[in-house]
């Protein structure tokens, strides 16, 4: 069968005009139900097959589900090695075995998910070859050398992962430990390349470049280095850390809820804190990477940029704002709960700052999710003087959104600093000056971010995009890079006034961790849909048109239903994998019970907040 794209699209347009999307889908299902071989036998023109289909769900939808599950799993298995390895280094440097055990626990989750990731990748490949032979032929012709490289990378990654995981206990001390850390480095190196190679295929589809004649390798390289490749690489690298962190946090949250002993509760409380910390740590620079990606898209093709942010996908970014806002609220809420429950007696002193931060976050979220054009009746539009609200319309543009995004990042960063400093008394002689300096830096930064945001309304777009927005980002980065080391140095000599207590968090803390993970997963499904739809009816934008019956992009509601389905399937899949992987853990001591309670590790700023009490270490 070649395809019946043109006829079906005409019918879709006609039926859509009669308000019947359901009838459209029934008709599509009717077409799909016809046996494809039968149609082919009825005298379709000879020639290479361009598309195949599957009755019922449709080829595009099944590829959507499998591709999304593969990408979510891949994001997890590529993000976890980063912080598992860092955690192992922290344990090695500080001599604290609990960090090594935590790193091993992260790696256990990763190893058990690895095979499933590859499995879904294989299924996806078969589906793409089967359903989209025209596209796959074209991409193979350009990228074949990178396919070979990709296969080699998988062999290297798998071998390294086996050695890293199975050799963990055997390579605990001395030179063996150094070698084990080196394996961790290699694991991350190969993982990085495993990510950026398929990124080139996907980004080439969105922002293709002219490929001159040359060797296969030269052509593949030219196609790889397209305008959106590196922005996507950086964005996904950071996002993988966020996904991995929050998923580990959610795992810990669920184990915490189901914990039966105090040792388990302590351990998973701590693991939940670390997971949330890693997720937040990655989340802070992530909007900047997203902004860079969007800028490159606009630079490459203005229409694609406008399709995304001003065209039919513009409401998608309102949904994105809502999800990110809930994620920021959830991550901050978990920090605030940590201050309240892990540092007894501190809730009164932090109540006002927490309230202030909550209000700022809610206001910023409100501004971020305000659309530019309102859904209004003719009467309402007449009263407003147009589709833009005279007051709220002001918040619907990028200047407002960049400003509030930066403010939310600053607030979240301060939640983390507050948590880090809670229960401690600085003893350094210069502590007062340092605190005044940090307050000054924070205050000035916030004011400058707001001033630049307001001023941005009155300057040409090029000034706002090139100078103001980048200045806002640099200011926030400066604040984080200044306050973090200063706090670390201050706390090195600080005395603990209130010992941190683990295992006392209420059940809603576990649910907050689950909520954060679900938000991140939903965001990935949402932005994956945005990336695919930005190509509208092109397989390769401007080069290879989609001439199948699925050349349209569905409305946001239908797409969101698929996103929710994909998220749910992924959560169930991962829950199953983690359950199988940790089946043998029940009844085993985690090694964190009894002994000295509340002793905090020293000089480990990255894991601020200490760890559960020392105990019977395995």
**21-40 residues near other proteins, rule: CB under 8 A:** 21-22, 24-25
Residues 313-352 that bind other proteins (CB under 8 A): 315, 318-319, 322-323
514 binds other proteins per the rule CB under 8 A: yes
Q: What are phi and psi of 538, to 5 degrees?
A: -120, 135
Does residue 365 bind other proteins (CB under 8 A)? Answer: no
Task: Report the residue number, 471 or 497, with the smaller CB distance to other proteins.
Answer: 471
422 vs 563 by CB, closer to other proteins: 563
Q: How far is CA 58 from the centre of its chain?
A: 28
Residue 19 is a binding residue for other proteins (CB under 8 A): yes
257 binds other proteins (CB under 8 A): yes
If one asks whether residue 615 binds other proteins (CB under 8 A), the answer comes out as no
Among 14, 16, 432, 602, binds other proteins (CB under 8 A): 16
- Taking the least distance from each CB to other proteins, the nearer of 299 and 618 is 299
43 conformational bin, left if phi > 0, alpha if psi -120 to 50, beta if neither: left
Find the shortest distance in angstroms from Cβ 281 to other proteins. 23
Give CA–CA dist 471/485, Å, rounded. Answer: 22
Binding mask 455-474 vs other proteins (x if CB under 8 A, - otherwise)?
------xx--xx--------
Alpha carbons 297 and 311: distance in angstroms, whole number: 14
Residue 327: CB minimum distance to other proteins, A: 12
Report if residue 12 touches other proteins, rule: CB under 8 A.
yes
Residue-wise over 443-452: b if at least 16 C-beta within 10 A, else e?
eebbeebeeb
Terminal alpha carbon distance of the chain: 62
**Residue 162 beta carbon to other proteins: minimum distance, rounded to whole angstroms:** 30
Residues 527-556 that bind other proteins (CB under 8 A): 533, 536-538, 541-543, 545-546, 551-556
DSSP string, 568-616: HHHHHHHHHHHHHHTGGGTTS--S--SSS-SPPPSS-GGGTT--SPP--
Considering the rule CB under 8 A, would residue 576 count as an interface residue with other proteins? no
Residue number with CB closer to other proteins (327 or 407):
327
What is the footprint of other proteins within residues 378-417 (CB under 8 A)?
386, 388, 393
Nearer Cβ to other proteins, position 16 or 432?
16
Classify the phi-psi angles of 95: left when phi > 0, otherwise alpha if psi is within -120 to 50, otherwise beta: left
Position 362 contacts other proteins (CB under 8 A): no
Instruction: State whether residue 310 is helix, strand or coil.
Output: coil
φ, ψ (nearest 5 deg) of residue 540: -120, 115
d(CA 280, CA 332): 9
Q: Which of 70, 101, 219, 372 binds other proteins (CB under 8 A)?
A: 372
User: Stretches 40-48, 86-94, 404-412, 562-570: which one binds other proteins (CB under 8 A)?
Assistant: 562-570
Q: How many residues does the chain have?
A: 618
Q: Give the CB-side neighbour count of residue 92, counting CA atoms within 13 A.
A: 22
Interaction between residue 258 and other proteins (CB under 8 A): yes
């Amino acid at each position: 069968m070649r395809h019946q794209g043109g006829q079906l699209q005409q019918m879709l347009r006609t039926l859509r005009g009669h308000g019947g999307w359901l009838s459209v889908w029934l008709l599509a299902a009717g077409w799909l139900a016809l046996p494809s071989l039968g149609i082919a036998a009825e005298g379709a023109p000879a020639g290479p097959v361009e598309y195949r289909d599957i009755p019922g769900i449709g080829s595009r939808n099944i590829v959507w589900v499998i591709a999304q599950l593969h990408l979510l799993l891949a994001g997890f298995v590529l993000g976890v090695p980063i912080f598992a390895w860092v955690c192992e280094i922290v344990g090695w440097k500080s001599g604290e075995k609990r960090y090594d055990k935590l790193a091993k626990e992260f790696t256990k989750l990763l190893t058990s998910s690895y095979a499933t990731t590859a499995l879904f990748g294989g299924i996806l490949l078969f589906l793409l070859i089967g359903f989209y032979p025209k596209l796959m032929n074209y991409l193979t012709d350009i990228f074949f050398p990178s396919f070979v490289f990709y296969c080699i990378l998988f062999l290297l990654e798998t071998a390294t992962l086996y050695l890293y995981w199975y050799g963990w206990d055997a390579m605990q001390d001395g030179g063996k430990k150094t070698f084990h850390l080196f394996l961790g480095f290699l694991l991350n190196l190969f993982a990085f390349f495993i990510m950026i190679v398929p990124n080139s295929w996907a980004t080439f589809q969105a922002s293709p470049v002219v490929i001159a004649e040359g060797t296969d390798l030269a052509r593949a390289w030219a196609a790889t280095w397209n305008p959106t490749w590196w922005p996507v690489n950086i964005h996904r690298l950071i996002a993988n850390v966020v996904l991995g962190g929050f998923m580990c946090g959610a795992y810990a949250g669920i184990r915490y809820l189901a914990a039966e002993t105090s040792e388990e509760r302590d351990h998973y409380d701590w693991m939940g804190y670390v997971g949330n910390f890693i997720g937040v740590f990655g989340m802070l620079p992530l909007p900047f990477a997203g902004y860079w990606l969007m800028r490159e898209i606009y630079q490459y093709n203005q229409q694609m940029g406008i399709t995304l942010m001003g065209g039919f996908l513009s409401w998608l970014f309102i949904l994105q704002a809502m999800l990110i806002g809930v994620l920021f609220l959830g991550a901050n809420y978990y920090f605030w709960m940590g201050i309240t429950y892990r540092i007894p007696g501190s809730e009164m002193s932090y109540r006002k700052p927490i309230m202030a931060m909550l209000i700022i976050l809610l206001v910023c979220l409100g501004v971020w999710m305000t659309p530019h054009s309102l859904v209004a009746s003719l009467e309402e539009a007449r009263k407003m003087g147009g589709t833009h609200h005279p007051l709220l319309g002001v918040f619907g543009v990028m200047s407002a959104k960049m400003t509030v995004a930066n403010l939310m990042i600053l607030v979240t960063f301060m939640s983390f600093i507050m948590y880090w400093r809670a229960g401690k008394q600085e003893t350094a002689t210069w502590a007062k000056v340092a605190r005044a300096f940090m307050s000054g830096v924070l205050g000035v930064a916030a004011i400058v971010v707001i001033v630049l945001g307001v001023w941005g309304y009155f300057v040409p777009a090029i000034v706002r995009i090139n100078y103001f927005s980048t200045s806002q980002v640099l200011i926030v980065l400066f604040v984080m890079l200044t306050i973090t080391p200063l706090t670390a140095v201050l706390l090195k000599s600080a005395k603990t006034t209130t010992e941190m207590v683990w295992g006392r968090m209420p059940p809603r803390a576990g649910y907050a961790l689950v909520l954060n993970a679900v938000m991140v997963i939903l965001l990935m499904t949402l932005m994956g849909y945005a990336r695919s739809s930005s190509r509208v009816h092109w397989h390769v934008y401007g080069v290879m048109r989609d001439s199948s019956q699925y050349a349209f992009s569905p409305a946001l509601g239908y797409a969101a239903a698929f996103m929710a389905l994909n998220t749910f399937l992924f959560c169930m899949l991962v829950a199953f994998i983690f359950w199988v992987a940790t089946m043998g853990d029940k009844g085993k001591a985690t090694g964190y019970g009894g002994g000295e309670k509340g002793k905090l590790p020293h000089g480990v700023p990255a894991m601020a907040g200490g760890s559960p009490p020392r105990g019977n270490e395995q």
